[in-house]
């Protein structure tokens, strides 16, 4: 067995590989290539950035957007619901951290988001 360290998308994995000599037979049938390795994911689009001078409200966890409660130009108060984010079968209310005006909304209903993705920006 030989050990290798492989990095995939910035995450390091340690793997062991058995080296077979020429003419050696494999005791178990090889798995199909599609089952052995996950399909290559499409490159993710670069996350949107908040406009200059605006405060970013980012996703605290990965999930799906169930509702967008605000629109650009709308005034909001601290604690107002901005977005409803479903994560692990729970609905999470993403609230405004302060009073302000919505500068932009970066998500739409049904969209999947990752931790740290921009949801809304406030002026």
Is residue 63 packed enough to be buried (19+ CB in 10 Å), middle (13-18) or exposed (0-12)?
Answer: buried
CA atoms within 13 A on the CB side of 102: 23
Looking at residue 13, its pLDDT comes to 85
pLDDT of 35 strictly over 60: no
Q: How far is 81 from 73, CA to CA, in rounded Å?
A: 15
- CATH code of the region 55-122: 2.40.50.100
Name the 3-class secondary structure at 34. helix
Q: Which of 26-30, 74-78, 93-97 has the lowest mean pLDDT?
A: 26-30
Q: Which of 61 and 37 is assigned the larger pLDDT?
A: 61
Cβ contacts of residue 57 below 8 Å, gap of 6+? 82, 83, 94, 96, 97, 118, 119, 120, 121, 122
- Could you tell me which residue, 30 or 6, shows the higher pLDDT? 6
Burial of 55 (0-12, 13-18, 19+ CB in 10 A): middle
> Domain spans of the chain?
55-122
């Amino acid at each position: 067995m030989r050990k290798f360290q492989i990095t995939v998308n910035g995450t390091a994995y340690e793997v062991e590989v058995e080296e077979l000599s020429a003419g050696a037979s494999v005791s178990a049938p090889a798995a199909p290539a599609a089952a052995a390795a996950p399909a290559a994911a499409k490159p993710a689009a670069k996350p949107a950035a908040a406009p200059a001078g605006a405060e970013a409200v980012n996703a605290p966890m990965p999930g799906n957007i169930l509702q967008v409660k605000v629109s650009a130009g709308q005034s909001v108060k601290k604690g107002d619901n901005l977005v409803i984010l479903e994560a692990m079968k729970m609905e999470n209310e993403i609230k405004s951290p302060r009073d302000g005006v919505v500068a932009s909304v970066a998500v739409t209903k049904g969209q999947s988001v990752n931790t740290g993705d921009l949801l809304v920006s406030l002026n």
